[in-house]
Amino acid sequence: MRRLCGASRSWEAKSRCGVITLVFAVFYAWACCPVQAAGVSAEKVTGAAKVTSKSESKPTPEVKQSGPQAKKKKAASSVGKKKQAAKSKRKKASPRGPRGSKDINQPVKRLWDFQSPKIKKIPSFWEPISGKWQLAKEPEHPGNRVLRQTAVKRNFQYLLSREKYANFEFSARMRVDSFERKTRNWQLGLIFRRANPDYYYKFRITAANLALLRCSPGSLEVLPHSQGSTRVASATGRQGKENERMLMILPNAVKPDEWVKLSVACYGERIIVKLNQREIRMVFDSAVGSGRLGIYSYKTQAFFDDFRLYYLPVPRLDQGLRLNRKTFSPVKEREVLVYFLNPRAGNAEVRVLGPDRKLFNILTKGWHGPEVSSVAWDGRGLLGEPARAGRYTIEVEAGGNTAQVFIRVKQPSGSPRKPRRN
C-alpha cells in the first residue's frame, strides 16, 4: 500500500510539472510568435528571420554594367563631379571683378617662357594685332624656343594682352636679328596702359637711345637733354604725327646681338623703368590710367622670351569710385589706392577732405584718358602732415560727375590719444 501511495503521489507531481511546462510553452509561443494567429507557421517565420539576418550581414554584390550605357553613366557622373567642384571653388573664392579677378589686394603672377613642348601656338592670353608672330627655335641656340616676329614693314607690329591692367610689373627679354642691326632704324619695346590706339605708354630701345614715351593726341614734347630730337614716329604707323611726349631718354649702351631685358612697373602715378634689372628712372604721370599691355617691334625681325607679369586685379566700379580698403592705418598699410573712372578724356581731380569737411590734400588734378585710373594716398596732407584718426572723405570730380567714398583712418600705435571727457 505504501508503495502504491508513493507511486501515485510521484505521478501526480510529474503530471502537475508537465501541465505547468505545457502552459509556459504555449504562453512563450504566443508571445514570441504573434504571426501564427494570421496562419503563418513558426518555421517559415524563423526561416525568413534567418534569411534577413544573412542578407544584412553579407551585402549583395553590385552587378557591373558594360556597354555604351555604362560609359554614358560614367561620363555623366564625372561631369557632375566637375560641376560640383567648380561650384565649391566659386563659393570659397572672394568676390570677383568684371574681368574674373579675385581679391583686389592680392597680386597675381603669370609667366611665359615657351620652353614646354606642349605649347604649339601662342597662348590665348595674348592677341596678335599686326605682324607675323610664331613660336620658333633661336637660330644661334636651337635648344631655346622663343617667340619670333618675322614681318619687316614700315609700321608697328603688336602683340597685346586681351585684358586691361592698371597696377602691375611687366618684363620681357628681346633682341633683334643680326642683319637688322645694320639698318639703325629699328625699334623694340614694351607697350602698356593702352586704353585705345591713341592713348598709351611705351618703353622702347633703339640703336641710338633708350626712351619712355606717352602717346596722347597733340602732346609732343621733348626734354632738353634729347640732343635735338624733335619728332618721333607715331605708334599708329604714320610718320610725323605729333602725338608723343618723351618722359625720359638716355643714350643706348647695349652691345649688338645681345639679349636685353626691359621692365616697367606701374603703381598709381608712379612709373618705374628698368634695363637688365637695373632701375633707370622713376617718373610721375597720370594721363593714362589703365589699358592693355604687350610688346612691339618696328622695321625689324625680333625675338622675345621670358614674359613675366605681376598685377593687381582691377576692381568693379559701380559708382565710378572705389578704394582698395575701407580702413587705413599709416603704421601697417603703406598707401591707399583710389580707383576712379573717367568716362571720356578730360580733366579730373581727386581730393581728400578731413573729418571737418575741409580740404586736406589733392591727390591728382589735370588731364586723364578715358579709362579706369588709380592714384595712391600715403595718409598725408598738403604740407606733409600725417592724418589724424577720424573719418575722411575722398571725392572725385571727372567728366562732369562727382563721387564720394569714406575711409576711416585708425589711430597709429604709440601715438598719444585724446583724453575722454567726463
Residue 30 pLDDT greater than 50, yes or no? yes
Q: What is the pLDDT of residue 1?
A: 44
300 grid coordinates? 625689324
Question: What average pLDDT does the chain have?
Answer: 75
Positive or negative: CA dihedral 184, 188, 192, 198: positive
Q: How far apart are the first and last CA of the chain?
A: 120
Q: How far apart are CA 304 and CA 107, in angstroms?
A: 24
Question: Given the C-alpha cell 507531481, which residue does it identify?
Answer: 13
Q: How confident is the model at residue 133 (pLDDT cuts 50, 70, 90)?
A: very high
pLDDT at 191: 95
Which cell numbers in the block locate residue 93? 573664392
Alpha carbon of 8 to those of 15, 21, 95, 96, 335: distances in Å? Answer: 11, 20, 100, 102, 115
Global pTM value: 0.67
Least confident of 114-123, 189-198, 204-213: 114-123
Closest by CA to 186, choosing from 177, 194, 198, is 177
Task: Please tell me whether residue 3 adopts helix, strand or coil conformation.
Answer: helix
pLDDT value at 55 more than 70: no
Structure confidence at residue 236 (pLDDT): 35
From residue 262, give the alpha-carbon distance in Å to each of 52, 146, 160, 331, 360: 78, 16, 16, 34, 38
Domains of the chain: 108-312 (2.60.120.560), 321-409 (2.60.40.4070)
- 264: pLDDT strictly greater than 90: yes
Q: Which three cell numbers stand for residue 336?
A: 591707399
Q: Other C-beta atoms within 10 Å of 353: how many?
A: 17
Taking alpha carbons only, the member of 200, 192, 195 closest to residue 219 is: 200
| Bridge partners, residue 279, by sequence | 274
Tally of CA atoms within 13 A in the half-sphere of 421 that contains its CB = 0
pLDDT tens column, 219-256: 433 333 333 333 333 333 333 345 788 899 998 867 76
Q: Is the pLDDT of residue 370 over 50?
A: yes
- How far, in whole angstroms, is CA 290 from its chain's centroid? 16
Residues contacting residue 364 through CB under 8 Å, at least 6 positions apart: 269, 286, 348, 349, 350, 375
Residue 185, pLDDT > 80, answer: no
